[in-house]
Amino acid sequence: MGNSIELSVAICTRNRHKDLMKCVESISRQTNMEEDSIEVIIVDDGDTDRDWLDHAGSLINKGNMYLRYYKKDPSEAGLIKSRVKSIEISSYETILFIDDDVELSANYLDVLKQTLISYPEAVGISGADQGLSCSLKGRFMMILSGRSLFSPGKYSLSGFASAMNLWNIQKNVFRTEFLHGCNMCYRKQYLSEIEAVSWLQGYSLGEDLYISALAGKHGPMYVNPDLKLIHHGSPTSRDNAEQVAHTKIINHFHLLKTRNKANYFRYFMLRWTAGFLSLEAKFNRNHEAYLGYKKGKEELRSLFKGA
């Protein structure tokens, strides 16, 4: 690969222009990338005016870095379809997906370049959201509820990836079974199986784990905790609490199927996690989330029988 890279940075967005501008600004501040070719692609599910794009372009278009914009047709709506479109239209063989409500540290792309060079066998690489935290009590509750294990790079027994809450306290690069969707870099040759599956709709909760599951079959994936960013988790353009809770359970069942893990034990653990989450939502008086988790748990039985 040498000491330079060619990189497509894909930002899938929908009407979060204030968040997206902060993201663009953080890309424009990247250091030590003068010798690299970088395209920044905005794949838009919403509406963005020309003045906004012109300002974004004035920040990005310098040296070998340039901005591209793709406005999706309404028939293409949905995050997973934006991911697929990004793969299809990107120019380079290495693609970094970042969320539109992310701010990268100033050396993020430089550290990513060095990680790609140091791990040529890597199928994918991710970094650590500095905004995530996990107390000892929180970690215990995640393990008790089936959402996490002790290892930061392992899926839980019910197929959840909550162990990523531990990523920003790690000291060294480590192997992982999944990447975090807010920042996930792949070598594009390993993404040929990714498609807009029917169970990923709208906000497409779990689409990052779906991509990880398919790409990860081809080789190792790594997390470098020195790849630092802040994921603000903007509520704009997300589904409502009931829908998110419902799809969190149902989509994790489909993710188990994608990983060929939809056996009786995993099914039992997913029902355990769904029950725990519904009780947690009820205790916190989050009625919409409670209804979503309860509905998801009730649907699991028929889904498992039909698998």
Segment 228-253 shows an average pLDDT of: 88
Diameter over CA atoms, the chain: 56
pLDDT band at 236 (very low <50, low <70, confident <90, very high): low
pLDDT band at 1 (very low <50, low <70, confident <90, very high): very low
> Both tokens of residue 270?
């997913």
**Do 261 and 253 contact (CB within 8 A), yes or no?**
no
- Terminal-residue alpha carbon distance, the chain: 43
Decide if pLDDT at 2 tops 80: no
Segment 162-189 shows an average pLDDT of: 96
CA distance 291 to 242: 6
- The length of the chain in residues reads 307
Decide if pLDDT at 41 tops 70: yes
Query: Phi-psi category of 230—alpha, beta or left, where left has phi over 0 and alpha has psi -120 to 50?
Result: beta
CA distance 83 to 271: 29
Contacts of 257 (CB under 8 A, 6+ apart): 307
Q: How much of the chain exceeds pLDDT 90, in percent?
A: 89
CA distance 26 to 9: 12
Contacts of 1 (CB under 8 A, 6+ apart): 116, 117, 120
Q: Mean pLDDT in the chain? A: 94
pLDDT band at 239 (very low <50, low <70, confident <90, very high): confident
**Do 300 and 249 contact (CB within 8 A), yes or no?**
yes
Decide if pLDDT at 237 tops 60: no
CA distance 249 to 251: 6
